[in-house]
Amino acid sequence: MKLYDAPLSPFCARVRIQLYAKGLEIPRAEPPGGPGSDAYREINPIGKIPALALDDGSVVPESSVIGEYLEDRFPEPSLRPSEPFARARMRLLCRFVDTYAEPPLHALFPYVTDPSTRDPAAIAARFEELTTRYDQLTRLLAPEGPLAAGPTLTLGDCTLFPLFFFATRIPPVLGGSDPTASRPRLAAWWEAVQQHPAVAKVDAELTQALRERLGAA
């Protein structure tokens, strides 16, 4: 198996947390020609990273699908709760990030890397949307915590951590606030998730990659 990966991608970071938490050593490679290239589309027709190339030549694209595939293929230690509602909550959190929370945050990134493009009205609109999403998210997290879907690390945490790595860094650069600062349940989750060794490792990787990216901007 081989994981097509890049250091700063939040989608790849989800998979790396899962690999580290499960103790899986799967070789990683940058996509040939970069994401979206013709060469890489020969491997993953969608052209995006991450993608997991299997030994029989087939490919599993899309981070959420890779996450479920790895759980099916390597069930222990499990990153899916066994209780049906907790598992549904975990899947809801993953879907919520992809469908509702990640797009407005993603839209802010170019304003950080290229200040000349900053549009105050557009930035304010994104902040407003993100405020709604963070408020919604606090009600979707498992109330008993401390992690996203209960006491142990799940795919929900793997998906949420990279989002909040950027959510705690990008808006403050643009005059926005840290979303964990004013939301106690979110703050408790954020505090707890960073204690997990697999998360701490990816935190360090993302920190280094972001430093290099912003240094090069």
Least Å from the CB of residue 195 to ligand GSH: 25
Which residue's Cβ lies closest to ligand GSH?
Answer: 36
Q: Which is nearer to ligand GSH, 13 or 193 (CB)?
A: 13
One DSSP character per residue, 12-56 reads HHHHHHHHHHHT----EEPPTTSTT-HHHHHH-TT--S-EEE-TT
Least Å from the CB of residue 214 to ligand GSH: 16
Token digits for 142?
């498992």
Give the CA-trace dihedral at 162, 183, 127, 36, to 10 degrees: 10
Q: If you ran DSSP here, which 8-state letter would residue 151 be given?
A: S
Q: Which is nearer to ligand GSH, 51 or 137 (CB)?
A: 51
The answer to whether the beta carbons of residues 97 and 122 sit under 8 Å apart is no
Least Å from the CB of residue 163 to ligand GSH: 12
Q: Which is nearer to ligand GSH, 22 or 48 (CB)?
A: 48
Least Å from the CB of residue 14 to ligand GSH: 8
Q: Interface with ligand GSH by CB under 6 A: which residues?
A: 9, 11, 35-36, 47-50, 62-64
Sign of the four-CA dihedral 192, 100, 73, 60: negative
CA 31, CA 59: separation in Å to the nearest integer? 13
CA 207, CA 189: separation in Å to the nearest integer? 19
Of 57, 40, 55, the C-alpha closest to 6 is: 40
The answer to whether the beta carbons of residues 184 and 172 sit under 8 Å apart is no
Q: Which is nearer to ligand GSH, 47 or 104 (CB)?
A: 47
Least Å from the CB of residue 59 to ligand GSH: 12
First to last CA, the chain: 34
Least Å from the CB of residue 65 to ligand GSH: 8
